[in-house]
Amino acid sequence: MAAIPYRRLFGPGPCNAYPEALMALQQPLLGHLDPAFIAMTDRVCDGLRMVWQTQNRYTLAMSGTGMSGMEAAFANVVTPGDVVVVGVNGFFAERQVDLAQRMGAEVIRVDFPWGQPIDPEAVATAHPNPTVIAAVHAETSTGVRSDIAALGALKGEALLLVDAVTSLGGIEVAVDAWGVDIAYSGTQKCLGTPPGLAPFTMSERAYQRRNPRPHSFYLDISLMGAYVGATQGPARAYHHTASSVMYAALDATLARLATEGLENVWARHQAAGDRFQAGLQDMGLELFAADGYRLPELTTIKVPEGVDSARVRAFLLSEYDIEIGAGVKDLASTVWRVGLMGANATTASVTLLLGALQDALQRA
């Protein structure tokens, strides 16, 4: 049996989890209909309302990773033949296109260069009457933030569907104030919790216009809603065997974030990202994401001319136990992706990363 490595997870996610979340994994298992577990799901749904900044009744965690959240979003609001407009500026927006097509939608894509944000006006006016407008808040493939509030102001009758996988718990996400109708995230990025649940929220407006019988049973919002008590009716209808281990971890994280204060959490991510990005530029490295739209929690760096991207990553892994990410698709060997998320959004992480990168550029 090989030695178990302790990885410093500075890739695009997962990140190292908050200690509270790790400790909570040891909480004894609970059945999925145990009164103590029901109380836990209530706390988790309330905590998620806090981080999503929403009053939405249908705010819960899907029992899968962030990708299951994306699938749940499209499965529950798209019916075959619906028009779905997608602002495409990266890999995860491409996935939104794929998901919408699998649900039978007529997809209208509005493309932007990778590394740039979407233009809300161009997306909002791409079709006179779309059922859904979809976009990615924080593109994990490029490190770019798009203006979801502006898109919300222009959405008209459409439902606004947003990927917040790399933003929730790291930068502001204001579901109600921005007019977001459906949003999903994962636990393993800025929320600093092991992967396995997908925070999800849906406005009343979206719920009323949902697909009443989606292909997916597992992610059907009306069944999940009945399970967590969002839907009126007989209490806690069995739907699936939710993992009390995962809920306990998320419960502990949400309590920690409430104590730290959400705005302080965002400020911590911003400070770490600013410091890191300034340090990289001081080292003479160039950033990939457009200036003014850079995510603090996920930095994209251009691999310098003549440097072997994979070799640097392998050096960091073997010498430092540090994971950073390669670029995605066309950017695979020309961009690195470095995350400072959750428990890793600290000054210590920044200093270690800058030093390790400097070392790698000299020695790898």
Binding site for a copy of itself (CB under 8 A): 2, 4-7, 9, 11, 13-14, 16-17, 22, 25-32, 34-36, 39, 63-68, 70-71, 75, 95, 98-99, 102-103, 186, 188, 194-196, 213-218, 239-246, 317, 323
Q: CB within 8 A of 74, min separation 6: which ones?
A: 84, 96, 99, 100, 102, 103, 105, 161
Nearer to a copy of itself, 129 or 259 (CB): 259
With respect to a copy of itself, which residue has the nearer C-beta, 33 or 307?
A: 33
CB of 188 to a copy of itself, least distance (A): 6
CA atoms of 301 and 75, how far apart (whole Å): 35
CB-based burial, 144-176: b 16+ in 10 Å, e otherwise: bbbbbebbbeebeebbbbbbbbbbbbbbbbebe
Nearby residues of 279 by Cβ (< 8 Å), 6 or more positions away: 350, 354
Taking the complex as a whole, the smallest distance from the CB of residue 178 to a copy of itself amounts, in Å, to 25
Which one, 34 or 111, has the nearer CB to a copy of itself?
A: 34
Q: What whole-number distance in Å separates Cα of residue 47 and Cα of residue 42?
A: 9
83 or 322: CB nearest a copy of itself = 322
| Rounded least distance, CB 26 to a copy of itself, Å | 7
Main-chain phi, psi angles of 325, to 5 degrees: -100, 150
Query: Which lies closer to a copy of itself via its Cβ, residue 34 or residue 121?
Result: 34
Alpha helices in 103-184 (DSSP H): 120-124, 148-154, 175-178
Strands (E), 129-264: 132-136, 138-139, 144-145, 159-163, 182-184, 198-202
CB of 102 to a copy of itself, least distance (A): 5
Q: Both tokens of residue 78?
A: 């798209």
Question: Is 215 or 311 the residue whose CB approaches a copy of itself more closely?
Answer: 215
Q: Least separation, in Å, of the C-beta of 6 and a copy of itself? A: 5
CB of 226 to a copy of itself, least distance (A): 14
DSSP secondary structure code for residue 192 in this structure: -
